[in-house]
Amino acid sequence: MKFTKWQGCGNDFVLLDCRAQEPADYCELAIKMCDRHYGIGADGIIAVLPSTLPDVPLRMRIFNTDGSEAEMCGNGIRCFARLAYEQGMVDSEEFKVETGAGVLVPHVVVENGQVQAVRVDMGEPILAGDDIPVTGFGSGRVISEPLTVAGQEFHMTCVSMGNPHCVIFVDDAEAFPIFELGPQFEHHGRFPRKTNTEFVEVKDRTHVRMRVWERGAAVTLACGTGACATTVAGVLNDKIDRKVEVQLDGGKLVVEWVANNHVFMTGPAEQVFAGEWQA
């Protein structure tokens, strides 16, 4: 099985062209491929598939290191989009992609014949508690609400970008004990489908520092949907402007929540290497 290895801000993925034939078990394959000692090493695997929808050329599926399937991945879709564009799977720089979070629209930014970045229309944020989901809020928004974790009270703002996020604003993102507390946020009883958690330090109205504990993948160097959720949460709490640079462990993303309620994310996508899986 041939593969390519990609990264977006250090969030790394194994991409597989499964349009002709799919693996027998994505879950088992993800666990094996993502192992950084006995496999290729990645935060997840991404399958390129034919879309099931009219006028949508491709479908994206993503599986985490633990074998669980995620609805979407912001860094992953940028890698997916660049691969599709450069390998001629699509015939334009902007195209639709079917995902578990709905149809998204990436735009491959090309200057002087070279791909510079990928900008993705990530759609509209979901803010109703039951739809994120987070329990106890019904259809209301979850903005700066108290949440007790490990005997400490935090204030969470919850957003779904097709997958659930809990954004926690902190004084010092670097010093926050993410490895100790991250799992307790992910598995907290408030989150029936578990949650991704962003720990965010606001530098100024246009810059934030974000670290992330990803559901099913633990700490990663970046999370694109998390950067989008962070931007929405920051605006809802009047901490930042609607366009912001998000500094992640592995790089920077620019996120903008525009007037029509859509969130746009712009960032890099780089192929690292290609190979053949023989395990």
What is the DSSP pairing of strand 102-111 with strand 114-121?
antiparallel
The single residue of 9, 73, 158, 166 carrying the catalytic annotation is 73
Rounded-to-integer distance, Cα 224 and Cα 203, Å: 19
What is the DSSP pairing of strand 11-17 with strand 44-50?
parallel
Residue type at 164 in one-letter notation: P
Active site residue 9: no
Give the start-end residues of each E strand in 100-250.
Answer: 102-111, 114-121, 145-149, 152-160, 164-169, 196-204, 207-214, 218-220, 243-248
- The residue assigned the tokens 């990663």 is 220
Residue 42: how many other CB atoms lie within 10 Å:
25
Active site residue 73: yes
277: alpha, beta or left? (left if phi > 0; alpha if psi -120 to 50): beta
The single residue of 9, 34, 223, 228 carrying the catalytic annotation is 223
* Torsions phi, psi for 236 (to 5 deg): -60, -30
- The residue assigned the tokens 């949460």 is 233
Half-sphere exposure of 176 (CA within 13 A, CB side): 22
Rounded-to-integer distance, Cα 9 and Cα 212, Å: 13
What is the DSSP pairing of strand 69-70 with strand 97-99?
unpaired
What is the set of active-site residues? 73, 223
